[in-house]
Structure 1
Amino acid sequence: QVDGLNTTLPYGICRVSVDYTMTTEALSAFSPFNTRDLNHPHGVYFGQNLVSGNMILINRLMLQNSNCFILGVSGSGKSMTGKNEILSIVLNTDADVILIDPDREYGKLTQKLNGELICLSEVSENHINAMDFRQAHDESIENAIKRKQSFVLSLCEEIIGGNIDSKARSLIDRCSGNIYRRYIKEQKEMPTLRSLYEELKAQPEELGKELALEIELYATGSLNTFAQTTNVDTENRLLCYDIHEMDEDLMTVGMLVVLDSIMNRISQNREDGKKTFIFIDEIYLLFRHEYTFKFLSQLWKRVRKYGGSCTGLTQNVEDVLQTRESRALIANSEMLVMLNQSGTDRPILADMLKIPESQLPYITGVRPGHGLLKVGSALIPFGNEFPKDTELYQIITTNQDEIQRHKQKNEKSSKQ
């Protein structure tokens, strides 16, 4: 008995030579070997590990590539997860954040963080000039002009609808080159699509007048929102492009202009040594247009070299996985946040990502903010409960019932 007592005391000395078998289940209570914890320096809080109980802190810039997809059905907490990361980036780093918001969910947060909210539509007061000219620090004037000529040509192809023949391409290239060289020489007003329209009409070839007529709707007509001088602060470190009211006729051209503006910003930030985080909500909407889809594919592959990262949010996982090209976007994303999944999406994801059967309950009928994180090869079940009795929660939630209850509560308090 004395030896037994001494063995239990914290001396680290065993005086009883009796061994007992400890089962795996009993051992896991002391050390959960069946999970991985992530605790990166300067990481963003993504919730609590449901197995170990530890916090999950992820710095995406430390991963092999920093791209991410946030997947889940409506109401599963996608936008809350994205907004939580945006808040951490804006408040704790000097990186820039750019949002594409098709459902008008990020405007309130953008304004609270002193960002620039850019609402784009055919009747909006916000304008981005499609022909804005920006020369990179290490770029020659001629190279900058050629780069912009290439963009204007792509823009005209989208406006006209389809490929245009070599004569038309040459004429558009000549006119856009004339416009930018004249601007650089005279340093007057920035050219616009109206400038291109006038230049095409002034050409001796009859084709010039025909091309001018083709782009007239977007240059001087009712869809001329991108043919006006930029009147928003595109240098703000937090930009939110609200495309909620953008008409379908304007969407293709509008997204072409927005994505070109984003690419210019990323290039500028790389030269300035700044990081850029891009968030695209309901990303499947951009898959409908050939140019925007090609742009996203290139961006997902190249953004790491520019010191940036891309995040796509969508509830239509099946749309993302339909083609080989769209599946490549997920393959080029080192991190996936899988929230509650629909019955059709779950087996597709399980097969593609090799998710074991034991992990599927974490993405089946779970509460908002709960799910499965895939970071590299690690699969981590997580839960992230955002405190609801805070002003910040009311800013970032999209639950209309909760917003209405909070509004009524405030009205009642003010009356008292």
Structure 2
Amino acid sequence: KGYADDGKDPLPDKSEFVLSLFEQIMQDDLKAQHRSIIDRCVQAVYRPYIASGYKGNAPTLTDLQAEIKKQPEPEAQELALAAELFISGSLSIFAQKTNVDQNNRLTSYNILDLGEQLLPMGMLVILESIYNRVIQNWRSGRRTWVFVDEFSIFFRYPFATNFFLRMWKQVRKRAGYMTGITQNVGEMLTSKDACWMLANSEFLIMLSQSASDRAALAELLNISDTQLSYVENADPGCGLMKFGGAFIPFVNSFPEDTELYKLMTTKPADREQVKPNGV
């Protein structure tokens, strides 16, 4: 529903999304005939829902598979069979209507346990859901904060890279704020798209960096040697902040005997000291 709230025809975006799903399912076997059948079926399952004013239940992958099976071409049966594992088989977790309350103020998506087979599809569905939520919140006059941990992982997948490029360019106009978090900035710097995103980010926080990462960041962001010294063997909570065109060193040290420190520390030894019935 989010795309319609964005003031444009949602069908092209939905078709592109489903095509991306089938690209992951069929890898290099997705041909032009398959793409035409997918587009035809997406239109068939979505047009009644759009015409109704988005009332009732939105189409699911199960509905799409049923529509694909109705098509006369043998390529349609190839699509249905290839997608069976993810739509009606043992990996069909994303084929049904979600049981997550989409009206929550805070929604956390965890892809850790998806496994290699389900990970690409899971990432696609999650990213699509995030974009829809940003659009819906914008139309309702609400801001959206999106925090992506282990950000470097997503740049291993072209579809995820393309998604974040679009988000980096568009969401600020729609009251959205994108934040990527990673310990592996070196992996991100091997991607031209990731470098573009870093260079075009108004706000960056850099903690302690390795020598190779410091050199790459200095070249990308035009950081001086003096400024770069603040991310060389920096203590926890200390580093360099980029805000617009300015670079600002910072020290963010919390006294260890405070409740805030106990809540925010990520050190395993500190976490073990926090009692189960504590704050």
TM-score by length of 1: 0.62
Q: Any conservation in 2 of the 1:397–1:403 contact (CA below 8 Å)?
A: yes
Q: Where does residue 254 of structure 2 map in the other structure? A: 386
Counterpart residue identity of residue 97, structure 2 = T
Which segment is superposed worse, 287-296 or 305-314? 305-314
CA distance in 1, matches of 2:268, 2:150: 19
Question: Structure 1 residues 343, 325: CA separation in 2 closer, same or farther (over 3 Å shift)?
Answer: same
The equivalent of 1:353 in structure 2 is: 221
* Structure-2 residue corresponding to 1:172: 38
Partner letter of residue 174 of structure 1? R
Alpha-carbon spacing, 1:301–1:144, altered in 2? closer, same or farther (3 Å): closer
Q: For residue 373 of structure 1, give the secondary structure of its aligned residue in structure 2.
A: strand
Matches within 5 A, 1:1-400: 133-134=1-2, 136-137=4-5, 139=7, 143-162=9-28, 164-183=30-49, 189-400=57-268
Match of 2:123, SS state, is: helix
**Distance (Å, rounded) in 1 between the aligned partners of 2:73 and 2:43:** 17
Calculate the aligned-residue CA RMSD, in Å: 2.3
Amino acid in structure 2 at the alignment position of 1:296: F
- Structure 1, unaligned runs of 5 or more: 1-132
Quick one: which amino acid aligns to residue 181 of structure 2?
A: L
Larger radius of gyration: 1
Q: Normalised by the size of structure 2, how large is the TM-score?
A: 0.90
Runs of 4+ in 1 over 6 A off after TM superposition: none
Q: Which amino acid aligns with 2:183?
A: Q
Q: Which amino acid aligns with 2:20?
A: S
SS at the partner of 2:76?
helix
* Contiguous gaps of at least 5 residues in structure 2: none
The number of residue pairs the alignment matches comes to 276
Which structure: greater strand fraction?
1
Quick one: higher RCO (CA 8 Å, sep 6+), 1 or 2? 1
| DSSP 3-state at the match of 1:161 | helix
Provide the rounded CA distance (Å) in 1 between the counterparts of 2:33 and 2:4: 30
Amino acid at match of 2:222: K
SS at match of 1:278: strand
Write the letter of the residue equivalent to 1:173: D
Is the partner of 1:237 in helix, strand or coil? coil
Q: Percent identity?
A: 45
Counterpart AA for 1:176 = V
CA contact (8 A) 2:2 2:136 kept: no
In 2, the alpha carbon distance for the partners of 1:350 and 1:255 equals: 32
Contact 2:165 2:197 in 1 (8 A): yes
